[in-house]
Homo-oligomer: A and B are copies of this chain.
């Protein structure tokens, strides 16, 4: 029960951080109230909705569970009403974002494995859960996503999803199979952010 509560708390904190990143980006692009709400919501829930459509979990949890929508709405209004304060919250938002990244990757992989019994689908859709919302946000804002350009972000999601699938297949105890990949994904993302690590690029030699 306590573990379940912790899981839900991290889930909502991550959703909130994702929604904040969407809402601030939408506000910077001068979208209107509705545009901010849409971008906040798809950033938070877009990845999970694509995952659920791909595994046949109908209707998608991101649409059906009111708590995600409510979290996105609260994040949007916080960004509108208290933009300066939200901007100053960079540090906790990044912290929650990294926590959300880990949890989304692991939970997405777990759910996909449950529905399809296929490790490759589970790892790919774990990553989609974690980074899909960010990609949809940038597609709607008509720009190439930072996720594809630099930083250790998707790679951390890959680590989390792959480790979760491996642990589940290897029969680790549920507590370990859930939290170890989340913590490692979080740690990799957070350390790489602090130290400014990036993946290599090859575009212009």
Q: Whose C-beta in chain B lies nearest to the C-beta of A157? A: B34
Q: Given known contacts A32-B200, A202-B83, is B56 in contact with A58 (CB within 8 Å)?
A: yes
Beyond contacts A33-B200, A54-B58, A142-B144: 5 other A-B pairs, Cβ-Cβ < 8 A, are A30-B203, A32-B201, A33-B199, A56-B59, A66-B120
A205 — nearest CB in chain B belongs to which residue? B83
Bound-state CA distance A49–B33 (Å) is 26
- Give Cα distance in the complex from A24 to B150, angstroms: 17
- Contact between B149 and A116, CB atoms less than 8 A apart: no
Residues of B within 8 A of A53 (CB): 53-54
Interface: A191 (CB within 8 A): no
- Copies of the protein in its oligomer: 3
Closest to A119 in B: B66
Least Cβ–Cβ distance between A156 and chain B, in angstroms: 10
A interface residues, Cβ below 8 angstroms from B: 26-36, 38-39, 49, 53-56, 58-60, 63-64, 66, 69, 80, 83, 112, 115-116, 118, 120-121, 124-125, 135, 138-145, 147-150, 154-155, 198-204
**Contact among B34, B55, B145 for A59, CB-based, below 8 A:** B55
User: Considering the chains assembled together, what is the distance between the CA atoms of A135 and B140 in angstroms?
Assistant: 8
Measured CA separation A142–B141 after assembly (Å): 9
Taking the nearest CB of chain B, how far is it from the CB of A62, in angstroms? Answer: 9
Residues of B within 8 A of A26 (CB): 148
Contact indicator A38/B148 (Cβ below 8 Å): yes
Decide if A49 touches B54 in the complex (CB within 8 Å): yes
Q: A53-B53, A58-B54 are in contact. Are A144 and B29 (CB under 8 A)?
A: yes
**Cβ of B32 and Cβ of A149 under 8 Å apart?**
yes
Closest to A31 in B: B148
With contact pairs A29-B203, A58-B116 given, residues A148 and B34 touching in the complex (Cβ less than 8 Å): yes
